[in-house]
Amino acid sequence: MQRVETIFLNQIKDGHFCEISVLTDRLYVEGMENCFAGEKNITLAPDGKYYTCPAFYYHRKRVQEPEFVMTRLERSPVCKVCDAYQCERCVYLNKERTLEYNVPSELQCLKSHRERKRTMHLQEELEKNFPSVNFMRIAEVNYDDPCQKVMWMWG
């Protein structure tokens, strides 16, 4: 990972504002850039039926019409207060691991927050080496899983 960061920093030094999947996503976006399966896009499968995404088709799991609404970001109490904007927010994994479309598993959140932390480290390097270059600010947070944040908010 550190070698990839070095490549990125060298590119910036040369004036190339490149992007590296996941690692730099959070530096460039101001809001959720998730998969949005079922919310902004759906899959028309070879069997002629609609699915939330290809994963649901491959596992032959159809979502009933009223359930589609539960894939929306606004219906996920945890994701909507989260700022790991690079996270896939995979509704298929949600359903597999928590049985709910709108409840992420701890594993998914921990992974995304590890990525977020890595990008924060990269941002520190950017600020140190290129103070005049502006990227999106990533705030320090005191949790690794946004579920903890929601539990504090709800008291």
CB 80 within 8 A of CB 96: no
**Near ligand SF4 by CB under 6 A, which window of 40-48, 82-90, 95-103, 135-143?**
82-90
Smaller CB distance to ligand SF4: residue 38 or 146?
146
Nearest-angstrom CA–CA distance, 26 and 8 = 14
What is the rounded distance in angstroms from the CA atom of residue 6 to the CA atom of residue 31? Answer: 26
Opening angle at CA 4, ends 108 and 128, nearest 5: 100
**From candidates 63, 70, 79, 126, binder to ligand SF4 by CB under 6 A:** 79
In the chain, DSSP finds a helix count (H) and a strand count (E) of: 6, 2
Helix (H) or strand (E) holding 43: strand 43-44
Span near ligand SF4 by CB under 6 A; candidates 11-19, 40-48, 81-89, 123-131: 81-89
Pattern 93-132, ligand SF4, x by CB under 6 A: -----------x---xx--x--------------------
- Of 24 and 113, nearer to ligand SF4 (C-beta) is 113
State in angstroms the smallest separation of the CB of 152 from ligand SF4: 14
Sign of the CA dihedral with 71 first, then 77, 79, and 83 last: positive
Q: Which of 35, 53, 82, 126 binds ligand SF4 (CB under 6 A)?
A: 82
The CB-of-79 to ligand SF4 minimum distance in angstroms stands at: 3
138 touches ligand SF4 by CB under 6 A:
no
